[in-house]
């Protein structure tokens, strides 16, 4: 499993979604800036006519509100981008089932503690591999698993989920932060 390949694939496949989010965010930001500019202009004219401290306070309040709204839009856009990238990453996990996948499956199985695994959930394409790696276990085919395995002891007290999906889920926070950081640095 090559994290760099996954990140490269995410950037390549997610360019369109990123552009859409950037466009939506820019449009909303421009709209807010225009609204705020008009309000500020109106307040400045009023302030010039009547140098009342209330006008200055109102201007300050409007600017603070505008900055707060702009920050919320940025946070929302970042969250939406992260969700879209995660969905894209999840849907791209199948590309990891390449010519070297047999070695990856064997390595993932070798990471597990040597216990009497009773139930092993795998992608239907891994049923034979699982039978060889976990003899005596009940092999359960699950189309929602793109790679790896989900194993459990007979009493159900020990369960280890070592699927591509779970590994992506565990690594996503760090990956997402890095992807968003790179994205915003590129702007």
Nearest-CA neighbor of 119 among 157, 170, 164, 167? Answer: 157
pLDDT digits (tens, 9 = 90+) for 175-184: 888 877 777 7
Task: Look up the CATH number of the domain holding residue 163.
Answer: 3.30.2320.30
Q: CB within 8 A of 59, min separation 6: which ones?
A: 40, 43, 44, 47
Residue 73 token pair? 């839009």
- Do 142 and 158 fall into the same domain? yes
pLDDT digits (tens, 9 = 90+) for 39-93: 777 877 776 666 667 777 888 889 889 889 888 888 888 888 888 888 888 989 9
pLDDT digits (tens, 9 = 90+) for 157-167: 999 999 999 99
- Do 64 and 26 fall into the same domain? yes
Pairing state of beta strands 148-153 and 159-163? antiparallel
Of 59, 91, 123, the residue at which a domain comes to its end is 91
Answer yes or no: is 182 within a domain. no
Answer yes or no: is 186 within a domain. no
- Do 27 and 87 fall into the same domain? yes
Report how many domains make up the chain: 2
Neighbours of 29 (CB within 10 A): 15
Nearest-CA neighbor of 144 among 128, 121, 173, 117? Answer: 121
Q: What's 164's DSSP letter?
A: H
Answer yes or no: is 173 within a domain. no
pTM for the structure as a whole: 0.61
- How far is the C-alpha of 56 from the C-alpha of 71, rounded, in Å? 23
Which of 76-90, 91-105, 110-124 is predicted least confidently? 76-90
Of 91, 110, 138, the residue at which a domain comes to its end is 91
- Do 105 and 62 fall into the same domain? no
> Phi and psi of 146, rounded to 5°?
-85, -25
Task: Provide the domain limits for residue 141.
Answer: 99-167
Answer yes or no: is 185 within a domain. no
């Amino acid at each position: 499993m090559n994290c760099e390949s996954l990140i490269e694939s995410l950037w390549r496949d997610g360019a369109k979604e990123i552009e859409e989010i950037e466009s939506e965010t820019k449009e909303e930001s421009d709209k807010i800036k225009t609204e705020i500019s008009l309000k500020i202009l109106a307040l400045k004219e009023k302030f010039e006519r009547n140098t009342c401290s209330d006008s200055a306070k109102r201007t300050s309040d409007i600017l603070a509100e505008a900055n707060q709204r702009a920050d919320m839009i940025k946070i929302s856009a970042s969250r939406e981008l992260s969700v879209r990238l995660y969905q894209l990453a999840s849907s791209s996990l199948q590309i990891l089932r390449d010519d070297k996948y047999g070695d990856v499956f064997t390595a993932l199985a070798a990471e597990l503690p040597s216990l009497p695994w009773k139930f092993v959930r795998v992608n239907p394409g891994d049923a034979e591999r699982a039978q060889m790696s976990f003899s005596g276990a009940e092999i359960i085919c699950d189309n929602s698993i793109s790679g790896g395995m989900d194993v459990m002891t007979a009493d159900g007290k020990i369960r280890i989920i070592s699927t591509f999906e779970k590994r992506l889920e565990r690594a996503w926070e760090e990956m997402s932060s890095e992807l968003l950081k790179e994205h915003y640095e590129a702007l």
